[in-house]
Amino acid sequence: MSRPLIFALVLFAILSGHAEAARSSVCTHSSDSREEEACYQRALDDAQLELKKKYASVSALLGTKDRKEALSRSQKTWGLYVTQTCDGLVRFATQESKLARAGVLSCKVELTRERTHDLDRMLYDTLHD
């Protein structure tokens, strides 16, 4: 097996585990793929709203323009990471199946929640320095 293929399989296993954990905690009641997709879209909307609030809280406490610009660059880089990870790798791994859209949304929900948690730690650390 080639290294890129092994890497892709390992990455898919990791992402599948994350996606499965997110699925088990978010949209377990969905009866079909359309309903599942709508559920994940609502979960993503909620997660993005929480992230936006947390980002604003952290940004307000940073003080200097340089620190705020660094946070902004970090957020943009994170957004690119989410796009490449979820849109690229999850779709590749699912081969554009009917489940691909729900998988992409599930991935974005998980990563958005993780980013909110990371910003929460930043906020805590800033307040307690």
CATH number at residue 122: 1.20.1270
Q: Token match 């320095």: residue?
A: 129
Asked if the model's pLDDT at residue 8 lies above 70, the reply is no
> Mean pLDDT throughout 23-52?
83
Domain count within the chain: 1
Confidence of residue 12 (pLDDT cuts 50, 70, 90): very low
Residue 72 in this model has a pLDDT that exceeds 60: yes
The rounded Cα 93 to chain-centroid distance in angstroms is 17
Looking at residue 21, its pLDDT comes to 47
* Full residue range of the structural domain in which residue 118 is found: 3-127
CA–CA distances in Å: residue 29 to residues 38, 40, 83, 99, 107: 12, 11, 27, 16, 18
How big is the chain, counted in residues?
129
pLDDT of 43 over the 90 cut: yes
